[in-house]
Chain A
Amino acid sequence: MTDNRDYRHEGSNEPDCGRLWVQAEPRIYGFIRSLVPQRVDAEEVLQETASVVWQKFGDFEGGTSFLAWSLQIARYKVLHFRRKQGREALVFGDQFFDAIATESLEESTRLADMHDALAACLAKLSKSDREMFVRRYQTDVTTKTLAKQLDRPATTIYSALHRIRTALVECVRHRLTVEETA
């Protein structure tokens, strides 16, 4: 009878689910969002993922990547969602899903936090761009509504947002590359 069993619940330095979730959630959401075209659907999948993560946390092995573990669950939930949707309703095909999902899971060990990078990049935007961007996302208005509010043509707003996002993408990419090679 060996007695080197591991009763980790005795100690309290074990990471807890809520803390881990808070760190991982944006990445998980980003992952889901890249596969699920509608926000409302992505939210639903995220909630289902959270529910499973919450409930299955006992299966998670301390010391391994919580993010990778959660992403697996998210992947499963997206798959579930896709099956639920039915083939006709799918915007993206299986090829797309496989390519994105597989790669994202592989990347889940990436340490650099995209959010830090994005926050820094947002701070670098010009005041008007930043306002436009915040306005678009703060209340999640559509480009059309935003165009009305700002009394500008929708196409202008659309292009502006696209330009801002593209700039942010370039900036974030640059920062992440620098961080990871540092």
Chain B
Amino acid sequence: MKRADDLKSEVLDLAAAACEQHLAEEDAARLEELVSNNEDLRQLYKLYIEVHAAAERYLPRLVDESEITEKDGHLENEWGRLALQKMISNRSTRQRMPWFATSLAVLLLVGGAWFFAAHNGWFVGDRKPLVIATLTKTAGCSWTEGGAKAIGSRLTLDETISLGAGLVEIEFGNGATVVLEGPATLTLTGDDECYLLDGKLVAKVPKRAIGFAIRIPNAKVVDLGTRFGLHVPEIGVTEVHVFEGDVELTYFDTRTDDQEAIVLHEKEAAQVDTVAFAATVSIADRNGFKFIVKDAADNVPARIQEEDGVVAFEAESFTHSSVVDSSQYVWRIDTASRNQFAEATSRHFVQLTSDDGTQMQFDEFKGEWLEYDFEITSPGTYRLWLLGAATGYGPDGRPGEIVELTELRYRSDAFTGSRAIEPIKTNFNKLIGVWQVGDGVPAGEATVPPFEVGSRHSKQIIPPGARKIFLALHDNFQWTNNVGQVSARLVWQQEKNAVPIRVDDVVVDAKGCIWFAWATDEQLGNPLDGKGPYQESTNQRPLEIEVPKYATTVSISASGIWSHLEKMETFPGAVQIKLHAIKEIGTPIESEHDLVKSQKIALSTGENFQWTPADGQGYALNAGIHRLRLYAATPAVALDKIVMQRASGADPIGPGPPLSILK
């Protein structure tokens, strides 16, 4: 086998060249070719390199075996620790601060990292594969990240459960049980605490386990002997519901580390809004938040009962889950269940309000009639107010089916400067990010590849030295006319499955601009062009977020609605409104008739809007049931409020007649 011998000697020669740093580019290619396709040659190469590597790094051990004794295990342990410590501290002389010396300080300093504080197991010897909980029940589970677990699985410290769907019950050593409903991500961070990154759970905590804590992004719930439910959506408002007993809710502003704690009592609920770092909490009677987790006792879905006896819970909102598509962040209006909206509360919904506190909410309506029935109990003249913003183009950037055009003209002189605008297609309608490394030195590449609004972005490795990330939305053309916003969650982690170092919930304004948002494809290679991630001339800065120290990866998920101009030209935008009286008391009804016939309203971008009949006097309405029909002529219209109000009223949100929404 002369040929084989030739190849072997060729590989050895190339390996020698590699060891002596003499490997030319074509040599490397040849070596790669040889070893990739032949196992013998690969083994040979590896062994050669292993010998070389052993010699260059461990020669003292090889030539004087007595130096390192195998007999004294203790000594060797110490040696190993020292070696490790030395190695880690060496990092400081190279580029970083000593990891172990600063870790505590960093944990205290870095906002969002406070949930680590209960840990003391950072050092070798303290950290063991400690089993802290058991998976006791499963039902209809689909697992993500290959983390399938069976009933009876031992769950260890820092283990993360990534549940795609279904329910699991986890029993902690102290007797606390958690029922988790997927999609959810839960990390076991201690024998009496866990971290819920997203998902829903119900916790039952016996007296002996009082103090059991569940950490959630930017907040923490400590049990005071109770049963409670949590819902942490991937984006949006976290909800805490107390079914029995009390819990303490601690929340804080990640920028200032200011903490606040409140105690929630039985049948109370709280919403924790963590957007833009600062947690704000609103508390209500549990019935005040219908759009939420419902306790197992109230609602045990039959399908779950049949399987493994898991006690389940279900979010009430998901009983009409076809309405909610949180991944797209679009709430489609389901007229069949519109009565549900009368009581729903969520900041993502715009509202139909009345002075008796009932709220009716909706968001986008897309080329379909929306109908709202309401009852007028006291006849009179009413005004209809529409408050909100509407735009000509939807999140897909395309105009909808136009019923009738009302022209809005955007002119290019809104833009400062005279640079020719070169539309690009690549990153259109996407969230894009760019790292800033060091003091104003750009990373040189957009290391957060663009992703579409409404999608989840996989883990990104943070480039070394990155201090900030800039986020902006990318339209095709000119961001200054953009409307809307996108909520994004950035989960900063050190390694896979670790509890996040920090979670940032942020809102990216559509007007933010990264310089390359309108650069040509070629320029994307160096988007910053040495000038920083935005152009001063635009005055539209992208969102700027500090990179937490020691974070090595970041995952970004985002969803939201925004609109933008596709072309700098005339485009239509309109809302068509009809007000019908379908049943007026004392009036025989032959058919629906329009009080207002198909009025088309021009809505300006980003402006609140009020609408009254042409005479400005309002509508004379009898007592009875009336139907308000709204039609968005353009694909995305968002209204903040619809208010029916007596014409005598002055303040559109002030007192008016009772407005009850019929089932």
B-chain residues with CB within 8 Å of residue A57 when the two chains form the complex: 124, 127
Judged by a CB distance under 8 angstroms, whether B65 is at the interface is: yes
Q: B80 contacts A22, CB within 8 Å?
A: yes
Task: Kindly supply a per-residue 1/0 record for chain A positions 25-45, scoring 1 wherever the CB is within 8 Å of any chain B CB and 0 otherwise.
Answer: 110011001100111001010
Question: Do A17 and B36 have beta carbons less than 8 Å apart?
Answer: no
Which of B16, B54, B156 has the largest count of A CB atoms less than 10 A from its CB? B54
Known A-B contacts A18-B78, A18-B81, A138-B59; the reply to A6 vs B131 at CB < 8 A is yes
| Residue contact B51 to A165, C-beta cutoff 8 Å | yes
CB-defined contacts of B88 to chain A, threshold 8 Å: 47, 50-51, 54
Among A140-182, those with CB < 8 Å from B are: 140, 142-143, 158, 161-162, 165-166, 168-169, 172-173
Q: For the complex, is A52 an interface residue (Cβ under 8 Å from B)?
A: yes
**A54 contacts B63, C-beta separation under 8 Å:** no
Instruction: Report the stretch among B18-26, B227-235, B577-585, B599-607 that lies at the interface.
Output: B18-26
B115 at interface by CB-CB < 8 Å: no
Residue B47 lies at the interface, judged by CB distance under 8 Å to chain A: yes
B255 contacts which chain A residues (CB < 8 A)? none
- Of B38-46, B215-223, B315-323, B476-484, the one touching chain A: B38-46
Whether A61 contacts B129 in the complex (CB less than 8 A), given A5-B173, A104-B46, A173-B47, comes out as yes
Does the CB pair B495–A26 fall under 8 Å?
no
Q: Which residues of A contact B62 (CB under 8 A)?
A: 115, 118-119, 122
Report the interface size for chain A: residues with CB under 8 A from the other chain. Answer: 77
Complex contact B32–A93 (CB within 8 A): yes
| Residue A91 CB within 8 A of the other chain | yes
Closest to B50 in A: A30
User: Is B296 located at the chain interface by the 8 A CB criterion?
Assistant: no
Docked CA distance A91–B27 (Å): 10
Asked if B130 lies at the interface with its beta carbon under 8 angstroms from chain A, I say yes
What residue of chain B has the Cβ atom nearest to residue A58's Cβ?
A: B127
> Is residue B597 contacting chain A, with contact meaning CB distance below 8 A?
no
Alpha-carbon gap, A99 to B84, bound state (A): 29
Residues 70-91 of B, flagged 1 when their CB comes within 8 A of A and 0 if not, give 0001001111111110011011
The residues in A between 75 and 106 inclusive whose CB is less than 8 angstroms from any CB of B are 80, 83-84, 91-93, 95-96, 98-100, 103-104
B362 to chain A, nearest CB (A): 45
With contacts A22-B80, A38-B21, A172-B47 taken as known, whether A137 is within 8 angstroms of B127 at the C-beta atoms is no
Check A55 against B122 for contact (C-beta < 8 Å): yes
| Cβ-based interface call for B35 (8 A) | yes
Partner among B36, B42, B53, B131 whose Cβ is within 8 Å of the Cβ of A5: B131
Bound-state Cα–Cα, A92 to B84, Å: 29
Chain A residues lying within 8 Å of B49, measured Cβ to Cβ, are 30, 33-34
Q: Are B58 and A26 in contact (CB under 8 A)?
A: yes
Asked whether A54 lies within 8 Å of B124 as measured between CB atoms, the reply is yes
> Judging by beta carbons under 8 Å apart, are A50 and B73 in contact?
no
Given A19-B77, A34-B49, A83-B461, does the pair A137, B16 have CB atoms closer than 8 Å?
no
Contact of B59 among A98, A100, A134, A172 (CB under 8 A): A134
Interface string of A114-150 (1 = CB under 8 A from B): 1100110010000000100110111010110000000
Residues of B near A16 (CB, < 8 A) are 77, 80-81, 124-125
- Residue B3 CB within 8 A of the other chain: no
- Say yes or no: is B141 at the interface (Cβ < 8 Å to chain A): no
Q: Are A18 and B84 in contact (CB under 8 A)?
A: yes
Q: Which residues of B (428-446) have their CB < 8 Å from a CB of A?
A: none
By a CB distance below 8 angstroms, the chain A residues around B19 are 165
Given contacts A84-B463, A137-B59, contact A99 B77 (CB under 8 A): no
Asked if A18 contacts B46 (CB within 8 A), the reply is no
Most buried by B among A18, A25, A99, A118: A18
Q: Are B55 and A137 in contact (CB under 8 A)?
A: yes
CB of B65 within 8 A of CB of A84, answer no
Supposing A96-B32, A166-B48 touch, asked if A142 and B130 sit within 8 A by C-beta, the answer is no
Interface centre among B16, B25, B57, B65 (most CB of A within 10 A): B57
B154 contacts A6, C-beta separation under 8 Å: yes
How long is the Cα–Cα vector from A13 to B524 in the complex, in angstroms? 56
Cβ contacts under 8 Å, A38 to chain B: 21
Checking B13, B28, B29, B54 against A118 with a beta-carbon cut-off of 8 angstroms, the contacting residue is: B54
CA distance A93 to B31 in the complex (A): 10
Task: Tell yes or no: B134 within 8 A of A by CB.
Answer: yes
Q: Which of B58, B90, B121, B131 contacts A7 (CB 8 A)?
A: B131
Shortest beta-carbon distance from B50 to chain A in Å: 4
CB within 8 Å for A59 and B158 given contacts A18-B80, A33-B49: yes
Determine whether the beta carbon of B129 is less than 8 Å from that of A58: yes
Q: Is the CB of A30 within 8 A of B54?
A: yes
A53 to B19, CA, bound (A): 27
Contact of A165 among B28, B48, B132 (CB under 8 A): B48
Q: Does B303 contact A (CB under 8 A)?
A: no
Known: A21-B80, A21-B84, A56-B495. A1 touches B16 (CB 8 A): no
Beta-carbon contact of B20 and A142 below 8 Å: yes
Asked if residues B36 and A95 are in contact (CB atoms below 8 Å), the reply is yes
Decide: B158 and A1 in contact? CB cutoff 8 A.
no
**For the complex of A and B, 9 pairs with smallest distance between CB atoms:** A18-B80, A58-B127, A22-B80, A18-B81, A33-B53, A9-B128, A30-B50, A17-B124, A96-B32
The chain A residues found within 8 Å of chain B, CB to CB, are 1-2, 5-9, 14, 16-22, 25-26, 29-30, 33-34, 37-39, 42, 44, 46-47, 50-62, 80, 83-84, 91-93, 95-96, 98-100, 103-104, 114-115, 118-119, 122, 130, 133-134, 136-138, 140, 142-143, 158, 161-162, 165-166, 168-169, 172-173
What would 8 A/B residue contacts be, using CB atoms closer than 8 Å?
A18-B81, A37-B18, A37-B23, A42-B53, A50-B87, A99-B42, A118-B62, A134-B63
